[in-house]
Amino acid sequence: MSSETARVEAFSDGVFAIAITLLILDVHVPSVSGGHLAAALARQWPTYVAFLISFAFIGIMWVNHHRLFNHIHRCDNTLMFLNLLLLLGVTIVPFPTALLAAHYSAGDRVVAAAVFNGTYVVIAIFFNVLWYHAVNGGLLDPAAAESASSISRRYGVGPVSYLVCLGLTWVSVPASLALNIALAIFFAMPPKAISWEKTMHTATK
């Protein structure tokens, strides 16, 4: 950890840790009588799914934040505020996920899914703005120039892809959520697991 970015990373890790820990507070012990605990627990399945999705997505964002700061070795005032914007998105994640869980089986699930997918459009933009400021502001480790270029290409597809998720909401909510989860898996994969150079070379032939 660079001494210039140490406090930014430590603060960010704290926010991620608190956000991911507080998720369990949305999972309540059901109030039952007459020995119907099993049925009451089963009825709460959307809450369990929302908890697991939020936990996984925040965890993936933490992994990607860590990857970015492995390349960022200098910090300036703008970077600190852009990092705060990204952390704002992280702390909001539990709300749209809980909203979707509460309304997925109701008539308002399109609106709930739109809020959910729209949240990730904004977070993807925050990730890109932070990263491109670090690149263009000369805040990166010069020795990491090659891998930084690969990261730029990888994150560049994020906002557009999540916009597709958002647009797909009005066509098929399940399909939009499936694409959102697929994107989370994509961004969870190590950058070296995806040969961007080969893909780009093939695409230009």
User: What are the sequence ranges of the domains in the chain?
Assistant: 6-203
Q: Residue 200: left if φ>0, alpha if ψ -120 to 50, beta else—which one?
A: alpha
pLDDT at 190 (0 to 100): 81
> Is 155 a residue whose pLDDT tops 90?
no
Confidence of residue 17 (pLDDT cuts 50, 70, 90): very high
> Is 198 a residue whose pLDDT tops 50?
no
- Give mean pLDDT, residues 94-110: 86
Confidence of residue 110 (pLDDT cuts 50, 70, 90): very high
pTM of the model: 0.84
- Secondary structure in 3-state letters for the chain: CCCCCHHHHHHHHHHHHHHHHHHHHHCCCCCCCCCCHHHHHHHCHHHHHHHHHHHHHHHHHHHHHHHHHHHECCCCHHHHHHHHHHHHHHHHCHHHHHHHHHHCCCCCHHHHHHHHHHHHHHHHHHHHHHHHHHHHCCCECHHHHHHHHHHHHHHHHHHHHHHHHHHHCCCCHHHHHHHHHHHHHHHHCCHHHCCHHHHHHHHCC
Higher-confidence residue of 148 and 187: namely 187
- Give mean pLDDT, residues 42-66: 89
Confidence of residue 1 (pLDDT cuts 50, 70, 90): low
> Is 183 a residue whose pLDDT tops 80?
yes
pLDDT at 8 (0 to 100): 92
* pLDDT tens-digit series, residues 62-87: 999 998 998 898 899 999 999 999 99
> Would you call 38 exposed, middle or buried from its count of C-beta atoms within 10 A (0-12, 13-18, 19+)?
exposed
Higher-confidence residue of 117 and 143: namely 117
> Is 43 a residue whose pLDDT tops 50?
yes
- Mean residue pLDDT of the chain comes to 86
Who's near 63: CB < 8 A, 6+ residues apart? 188
pLDDT at 2 (0 to 100): 59
pLDDT at 197 (0 to 100): 44
pLDDT at 201 (0 to 100): 44
Confidence of residue 3 (pLDDT cuts 50, 70, 90): low
